[in-house]
Amino acid sequence: MPGPAQPGPSTPPIHLAVALDGAGWHPAAWREPGARPGELLTARYWSELVAEAERGLLDFVTIEDSLSLQSSRYTGPDGRTDQVRGRLDAVLIAARVAPLTRHIGLVPTAVVTHTEPFHLSKAIATLDYVSGGRAGVRVQVSGRSDEAAHFGRRTVPPLRIEELASPAGQALLAELFDEAGDWVEVLRRLWDSWEDDAEIRDAGSGRFIDRRKLHYIDFEGSRFSVRGPSITPRPPQGQPVVAALAHATVPYRLVARSADLGFVTPRDTGHARSIVAEIRGEQAAAGRAEETVHVFGDLTVFLDSDPGAAAERRARLDQSAGGEFTGDAPVFTGTPEQLADLLQELQQAGLTGFRLRPAVLPHDLEQITRHLVPELQRRDAFRTAYRANTLRGLLGLPRPANRYATAAV
């Protein structure tokens, strides 16, 4: 259920998420004094990070993933030994953490290009069961030739990231994102393939289910077909939250057509405004104008109570890494108060929330939960307690009707 309206007559509350990845988003983060680089593959490390995010009342955490070893290059492994390498399956990390948390949403990454939508559909539905309605999934395409070679089912041309703007690159992206759209459609149909009250346990007739309330999804796409129904009953949220990261028109379209939530990377408020407008336009074109689609701004953050300290820390990390940190998302360096100013300013451009990428874990996460959140609360811009038990509830998304139940009426 959605929480009550927050104070502040004109401005809705900000939604906040954090993106967890390894020792943090800066490649030298693992060398910081508080880092625990030897524990990145342990359950305790992840449980403690998510518990910290939950203490900060954040909407959800995302957990990054990939089907290849981390690399500083887009096209393949880089052979470097000075950065964190090796990671665990994000869905399983989320499931491992779920019983230890109560309110925070859990949004693992799934690479849609090489995985089976049937398997992921039941995995995310099950994450929803084990978390009591707090599951989401962030869908990610893979255009990497080295990841394709790990599966051997298809080849992907080895394109450098700058070549993605070429006609060949655009064709590849369009194909991968179309397939991702199909993938999400299969997920959603499978989640609806059981009506909520399909299990009847009717001792009189001896029937455990009412099979009229189970539905074949009969999806036919260009890359795969799926018959259904799911083997897992409809999850607690009905539809767990689907999210995607988007940097350009093709992925904006995926967000607008298929997702509940998009992560975008605006350079400034003007850019944010144009991105939101583009997504809203695509959303209307897809007939979803009435549905809530959140647009979250992504920022990598270096936070310290002394603005000089944050800048010094960033410089020190860059020196350790042997180069200036850049990434797909804008980088913020400063105090939690300054970040609160920026978030409120960006919110005016139409963003509904933010996904902050801590440059260093747990330091920048704790700056978010212990300093940014109280600052936003002082400004009546963030919740002071969890007021919903599901991720959809936290995000103000209704529990959707089952498409098949509706069709049957």
Partner 1 sequence: MSKPVKQIHLAAHFPGVNNTTVWSDPEAGSHVEFSSFRHFAQTAERAKFDFLFLAEGLRLREQGGEIYDLDVVGRPDTFTVLAALAAVTERLGLAGTINSTFNEPYEVARQFASLDHLSGGRAAWNVVTSWDAFTGENFRRGGFLPQHERYSRAKEFLSTATELFDSWQGNEIAADQQSGSFLREARAGAFVHRGQHFDIQGQFNVPRSPQGRPVIFQAGDSEEGREFAASSADAIFSRYSTFEEGRAFYTDVKGRLARHGRTRDQLLILPAATFVLGDTDAQAQELAREVRRQQVSGATALKHLEFVWNRDLSGYDPDGPLPEIDPDPGEHAIAQGRAQVRMYRDPLATARQWRELAAANKWSIRELVIETGNRQSFVGSPATVAQTINSFVQADASDGFILVPHLTPGGLDAFADTVVPLLQERGVFRTEYQGSTLRDHLGLAHPDADAASERVAS
Residue numbers 69-98 binding partner 1 by CB under 8 A:
69-70, 77, 79-89, 91-93, 95-98
Contact between 115 and partner 1 by CB under 8 A: the answer reads yes
- Provide the token pair at 134: 């707090």
- Smallest distance from the beta carbon of 104 to partner 1, in angstroms? 15
Contact between 38 and partner 1 by CB under 8 A: the answer reads yes
Place of tokens 């991968």: 176
- Smallest distance from the beta carbon of 118 to partner 1, in angstroms? 5
Contact between 187 and partner 1 by CB under 8 A: the answer reads no
The stretch near partner 1 (CB under 8 A) out of 227-235, 270-278, 283-291, 399-407 is 227-235
Contact between 15 and partner 1 by CB under 8 A: the answer reads no
**x/- binding map, residues 40-69, to partner 1, per CB under 8 A?**
-xxx---x------------------xxxx
Question: Residues 131 to 160: which contact partner 1 by CB under 8 A?
Answer: 132, 146-147, 149-153
Nearer to partner 1, 28 or 356 (CB): 28
- Smallest distance from the beta carbon of 239 to partner 1, in angstroms? 17
Contact between 343 and partner 1 by CB under 8 A: the answer reads no
Query: Do 124 and 135 form a contact (C-beta atoms < 8 A)?
Result: yes
- Smallest distance from the beta carbon of 336 to partner 1, in angstroms? 26
- Smallest distance from the beta carbon of 292 to partner 1, in angstroms? 27
- Tell me which of 73, 102, 160, 227 binds partner 1, using CB under 8 A: 227
Nearer to partner 1, 218 or 291 (CB): 218
